[in-house]
């Protein structure tokens, strides 16, 4: 989940590990037959970036080098901040869709056919380091903030409308899934900016985050988006990098408190948006904060052996240097919750969190689970 090089690459979703389907109740439904959807469109930060930042010339928020991608087919460092596939990829696979390609990979005169196909099956607009606000980070073109991602969606929407007649397009968009994972970098911006903290208190700032997100969700709705999967901020104080800052390897509870404040504002905003838009909008909110807490508290239940250290890095908790070719690499990546010091999840972790989203028994989804959302 980077607004700056270290806090960046934000924080995690903590999309959690491979697990046996019978390891705890409720996940059996994630393996059953799912309703079909025509496309997945992804907006967010490094938790779901598929490589858009590779195309930003100045950005240092990139993951297109080893050991990133060690478990991706061909061991390719695609630009995903992960061992392999991330949560957006996993959702697409669950519904039998191709992996949504990064939007910026579809630009150019030789990409016309790829662009046409992706417009109908799904595109990934996410950018490592992105936030809800157009922060100073964007001025250096290190990331693509959410409002710019929605602008990019408008370009794909135009492409889609050129291929389908109006009634077909309306049906396509109403049945597609819009997956939004963002917010951690905005909190780290606030945490690291004395000027921001002078101007506004945490409650005001997190409320303004929710208000600004609402604006962008309404823009999506105006183009025909009807099914929204929105992920809250995780326990951003419990990443390996945060834990490594103290000798007891404890979480930074102040950072967690700010994340919790934002999640409360987000939940209330989504309820208000639903009231305003009525039956033309359905959504699922996934509580990443409490799902992470449960996984960290009960790691064996979810198939994990290490929920504090980074799989790739160096130093204390493998979390004092970023993941790179010369980093220490854990031997069994399926047993680690975190890939790097920033708290990006391993592929195993991403698959577990998606199973939690799909589970009808999940206590972390409201008012609908992902399975119920796509069937609505």
Active-site annotation holds for 143:
no
Which of 284, 307, 270 lies closest to 356, judged by CA? Answer: 284
Residue 87 vs residues 122, 180, 209, 302, 346: alpha-carbon distances, Å: 14, 11, 23, 16, 10
Residue 51 vs residues 33, 107, 348: alpha-carbon distances, Å: 30, 13, 19
Token pair listed for 181: 């994972």
DSSP bridge pairs for 284: 229
Active-site annotation holds for 46:
yes
Options 8, 46, 284, 291, the catalytic residue: 46
Options 252, 287, 340, 355, the catalytic residue: 340
With helix as H, strand as E and coil as C, how does 110-176 read?
HHHHHHHHHHHHCCECCCCCCCCCCCHHHHCCCCCCHHHHHHHHHHHHHHHHHHCCHHHHHHHHHHC
Options 344, 355, 359, 365, the catalytic residue: 344
Active-site annotation holds for 340:
yes
Asked, as a colleague might, if the bond just before 367 is cis with ω within 30 of 0, I would say: yes
| Residue pair 18/303 in contact by the 8 Å Cβ criterion | yes
DSSP bridge pairs for 345: 338
Task: Calculate helix-pair angle for 184-192, 253-277, nearest 10 degrees.
Answer: 130
Residues noted as catalytic = 46, 340, 344
């Amino acid at each position: 989940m980077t607004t700056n090089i270290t806090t960046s690459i934000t924080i995690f979703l903590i999309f959690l590990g491979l697990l046996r389907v019978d390891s705890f109740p409720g996940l059996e439904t994630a393996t059953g037959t799912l309703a079909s959807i025509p496309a997945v469109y992804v907006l967010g930060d490094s938790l779901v970036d598929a490589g858009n930042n590779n195309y930003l010339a100045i950005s240092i928020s990139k993951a297109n080098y080893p050991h990133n991608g060690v478990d991706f087919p061909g061991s390719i460092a695609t630009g995903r901040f992960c061992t392999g596939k991330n949560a957006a990829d996993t959702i697409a696979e669950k519904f039998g869709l191709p992996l949504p390609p990064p939007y910026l990979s579809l630009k150019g005169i030789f990409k016309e056919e790829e662009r046409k196909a992706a417009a109908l099956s799904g595109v990934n607009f996410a950018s490592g380091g992105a936030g809800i606000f157009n922060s100073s980070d964007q001025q250096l073109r290190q990331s693509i903030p959410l409002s710019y991602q929605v602008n990019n969606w408008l370009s794909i929407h135009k492409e889609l409308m050129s291929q389908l007649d109006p009634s077909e397009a309306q049906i396509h968009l109403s049945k597609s899934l819009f997956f939004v994972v963002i917010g951690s970098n905005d909190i780290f911006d606030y945490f690291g900016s004395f000027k921001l903290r002078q101007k506004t208190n945490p409650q005001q700032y997190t409320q303004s985050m929710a208000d600004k997100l609402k604006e962008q969700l309404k823009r999506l709705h105006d183009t025909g988006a009807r099914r929204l999967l929105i992920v809250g901020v995780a326990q951003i104080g419990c990443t390996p990098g945060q834990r490594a800052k103290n000798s007891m390897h404890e979480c930074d509870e102040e950072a967690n408190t700010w994340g919790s404040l934002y999640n409360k504002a987000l939940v209330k905003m989504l309820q208000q948006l639903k009231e305003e838009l009525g039956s033309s909008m359905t959504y699922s909110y996934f509580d990443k904060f409490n799902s992470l807490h449960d996984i960290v508290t009960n790691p064996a239940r979810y198939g994990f052996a290490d929920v504090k250290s980074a799989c790739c890095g160096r130093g204390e908790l493998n979390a004092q240097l970023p993941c790179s070719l010369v980093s220490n690499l854990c031997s069994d990546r399926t047993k680690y919750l975190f890939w790097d010091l920033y708290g990006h999840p391993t592929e195993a972790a991403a698959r577990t969190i998606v199973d939690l989203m799909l589970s009808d028994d999940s206590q972390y989804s409201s008012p609908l689970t992902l399975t119920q959302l796509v069937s609505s």
